[in-house]
Amino acid sequence: MHISPLTSVVTSIFGAVVVLIWRVREGQTPVTLKKILIPPAGMATGFCMFIVPAFRFPWTWALAAFLIGAILLAWPLLRTSRLHREGDVIMMKRSGAFLLVIIVLAAVRFAARSYFNRIMTIEQTGGLFFILAFGMILRWRLSMYFEYRALTALPEELDQSAA
């Protein structure tokens, strides 16, 4: 099975648009533990792609991609989104730069992907960037999880005085 470069580009752009729409809609509804934990759990099923030999590459590359996603690329997401309590619910509060961060991260990944497509197969590049994105999402969602737990542990009056 061979994936064409055009298919890869179209799929990447479509995925970026879907993520943007999802993030905008997500910010308009209360945050729950399910909404925090289900995306990385669902995304983890993508590791099944590595059953197919065409997607495989060295473990050290996987570790590097995960760490770059978790340390470097997750940082802007962590800096531009916060949870806060509104009455009885927890809501996501994003800075005005959040959508710009999502667009810039997509552009960086797209540019890097174009480079890696020249030195690896498209399948390997897809797998590598999946691991990078998983590291980014996992760190961001774990941070949200701990923030959510802290907010739900605080008495409501104490949380509102901190805002």
How many CB atoms are closer than 10 A to CB 66? 19
pLDDT at 40 (0 to 100)? 94
On whether residue 65 sits in a domain, the answer given is yes
On whether residue 131 sits in a domain, the answer given is yes
Please list, in sequence order, all residues whose beta carbon lies within 8 angstroms of the beta carbon of residue 45, skipping any fewer than 6 positions away.
none
- The 8-class DSSP code of residue 117 comes to H
Rounded CA-CA distance 24/39 in Å is 15
Please list, in sequence order, all residues whose beta carbon lies within 8 angstroms of the beta carbon of residue 129, skipping any fewer than 6 positions away.
65, 109, 112, 113, 116
What pTM value is reported for the model? 0.77
Band of the pLDDT at 99, cuts 50, 70, 90? confident
User: Do the beta carbons of residue 119 and residue 47 sit within 8 Å?
Assistant: no
Closest CA to 52 of 135, 136, 122, 137: 122
If you search the block for the tokens 């099944």, which residue do you land on? 48
Residues of the domain holding 30: 5-45+53-154
On whether residue 133 sits in a domain, the answer given is yes
Model confidence over 56-88: pLDDT tens digits? 999 999 999 999 999 998 998 898 889 999 888
On whether residue 10 sits in a domain, the answer given is yes
On whether residue 76 sits in a domain, the answer given is yes
On whether residue 102 sits in a domain, the answer given is yes
On whether residue 160 sits in a domain, the answer given is no
Model confidence over 113-129: pLDDT tens digits? 778 878 898 889 889 98
- The total of structural domains in the chain comes to 1
pLDDT at 80 (0 to 100)? 86
Rounded CA-CA distance 134/154 in Å is 30
On whether residue 163 sits in a domain, the answer given is no
pLDDT at 100 (0 to 100)? 80
